[in-house]
Amino acid sequence: MEQFRLPKIPLPELKLPEAIQDVLQEAEQKLAHRPKLLQLFKNCFPNTLETTTKLMDDGTTFVITGDIPAMWLRDSVEQVIHYVPFAKDDADLQRIIGGLIKRHISSIQIDPYANAFNETDNDWHWNTTDETDMSPWVWERKFELDSICFSMRLAHEYWKETERTDIFDSGFKSAMRRIAELWKTEQRHFERSPYRFTRDNGIPTDSLRNDGLGMPVNYTGMIWSGFRPSDDACDFHYNIPANMFAVVTLRQMREIAEWVFRDMAFVKELKKLEEDVDHGIQLYGIYQHPEFGPVYAYETDGFGNYCLMDDAGTPGLMSITYLGYTDADNPIYQNTRRFALSKQNPFYYEGKAAKGIGSPHTPPDYIWHMALSMQGLTATDNEEKLAMIAMLEATDADTGYMHEGFHADDPAVFTRKWFAWSNSLFSQLVYKAMKDGLL
C-alpha cells in the first residue's frame, strides 16, 4: 500500500458559537436580495465548525482539512481565521481557536519539519514509501516554510483580537525558539540541515531530487523550503512568497517576545533573522520582466535562475498583501499582480465560464476558487471585488460549496467537493464585501 486515504470520519457535532450564529443572522438580512449567494455563505461560513472541528479532551482542537483525515498546519489556520474577529467576547470560539493554537504548538514540538499531523500517534501516513525521519504523530513530513508561519499568524491575530495571553506559556516560547533555530539552519540547508525527503510513487513533484536534499542553492539569507504550499516540490528552493511570509512572521514573533515574554535578547535575534531574509528577497527575489518591469519571482536558487509563475495557494505572490508583507500600492507588487493575472503566468487560464489562476497541482485549465477569492480580497477596485464574488457564485456547480479546482469551460468538472479552506476564504471575501456595503 502506498497512498493511505480514509473515508470521511464523522466528527462529534459541534454547537455553533453564538457569535457565528449572529453573523449568519446578519447575512440573512443583508444578502436577502441575493438568495443563491446567501445560501452559499450560510453553507460555507460555518463549514469548518460543522464538518472538520473536534474538541479534544486535553483542551486542544483538531481540525481536519476536509476529505483527508489529517490536520495541515496551514489549512487549519486558514479554515478558522475568519472566525477570529468574533472571538473577543465568545468563550466557545476562544475554546476552539485557543485549543487549535495549543495543538499547533505541540505539533511543532513533535516535528517542526512536518506539514500535516494525525489526531493521535496512530502511525497513519499519507504515503508509506516516504524516506524521511517520520513520527507516528506525523501524517506527512514535507517541509514547507509557510506551514509554521501560519501557526504564528493565528496566535498573533488571536492575541491582538482577544487580548488573551493564556496561549503564551513556556511551551509557546520554546516553540518560537525552535522555529528560529530551524530557520537559521535552513538558511544554510546544504551545510547544516538534517532534512531529507523522497517518495517512491512515480510522481516527480512528490520527491526532492538529489537524494532527498533538493537542487543546489546559493546562500542568500533567505530560508530554504523543500515544498510549495501546494505540497509540490519547489523547482528552486527559495520560495519568495513563503520567505515574505516568514518576514511577517518574524515581526509577529518579535512583538510577542517583547511584549509578552520580555526577552529582549530574543527580540534582537529575531530582528537579525528578519533583516537577513528580507535582504535576500530584495537582492535575489526580483526579476526584471521585459513586459511588466520588476516583478517578484515565485522561486529562485540564488544562482540567477528563476521560476516565474503564481500558484492559487496561499502564500502566493498575489496574497502577499493579504499576509501583510507589503501594501497594495507597492509598484513591484502591482507589476507582479498584473503578471500573475496574465497569460505570461503559465498557470493563468481563461475559459467559457471563468478566468483566473490555477496550479501545477491540478490539471491544466483548472481554476481554483481560492485564487478567485484571494483576487477579490486583494483587489483595490470594488468592481473587481464584485466580479470575483459573481464568478465564485456562478461556478459552484450548484453544490452550494466552493471546491479546489474547476475546469475553466465547465465548473461541473471539479476537484475536491469537500475542501473547507476554500469555503472559509470565500466566506472572508463575502463578509468583508457585506461589511463594506458592497452587497
The rounded distance, in Å, linking the Cα atoms of 44 and 31 is: 14
CATH code (residue 418): 1.50.10.10
The number of C-alpha atoms within 13 Å of 146 and in the hemisphere containing its C-beta is 28
| Number of structural domains in the chain | 1
Residues in the chain: 439
**DSSP string computed for 128-175:** TT-BS---TTEEE----THHHHHHHHHHHHHHHHH---TT-SHHHHHH
3 within some domain: no
239 within some domain: yes
Residue 9 has pLDDT above 60, yes or no: no
12 within some domain: no
**Residue 68 pLDDT class (50, 70, 90 cuts):** confident
| pLDDT for 2 | 33
For the chain, the straight-line distance linking the first and the last C-alpha, in angstroms and rounded, comes to: 50
Cβ–Cβ under 8 Å, residues 401 and 423: yes
**Which domain, by its residues, includes 214?**
18-435
10 within some domain: no
The per-residue pLDDT for range 372-393, each reduced to its tens digit, is 999 999 999 999 999 999 999 9
- Extract the C-alpha cell encoding 81: 481565521
272 within some domain: yes
Contacts 24+ apart (CB under 8 A), 387-396: 388/429, 389/37, 389/429, 389/430, 389/433, 389/439, 391/354, 391/356, 392/40, 392/426, 392/429, 393/34, 393/36, 393/37, 393/40, 394/353, 394/354, 395/353, 395/354, 395/367, 395/369, 396/40
Residue 7 has pLDDT above 50, yes or no: no
Cell 534582537 appears where? 268
What is the arithmetic mean of pLDDT over 341-369? 96
Helix (H, G, I), strand (E, B) or coil at 373: helix
Name the nearest CA neighbour of 280 among 219, 226, 332, 333: 219
The rounded distance, in Å, linking the Cα atoms of 238 and 424 is: 28
What is the arithmetic mean of pLDDT over 215-221? 98
The rounded distance, in Å, linking the Cα atoms of 264 and 255 is: 10
DSSP H helix total and E strand total for the chain: 14, 15
373 within some domain: yes
1 within some domain: no
262: left (phi over 0), alpha (psi -120 to 50) or beta: left
**Beta partners for 72?**
116
**Residue 13 pLDDT class (50, 70, 90 cuts):** confident
3-state helix, strand, coil in the chain (%, to 5): 45, 10, 45
7 within some domain: no
**Residue 8 pLDDT class (50, 70, 90 cuts):** very low
| pLDDT for 172 | 98
What is the arithmetic mean of pLDDT over 201-205? 91
| pLDDT for 6 | 41
Helix (H, G, I), strand (E, B) or coil at 325: coil
- Extract the C-alpha cell encoding 355: 478566468
Residue 331 has pLDDT above 90, yes or no: yes
| pLDDT for 419 | 87
Residue 179 has pLDDT above 80, yes or no: yes
pTM of the model: 0.96
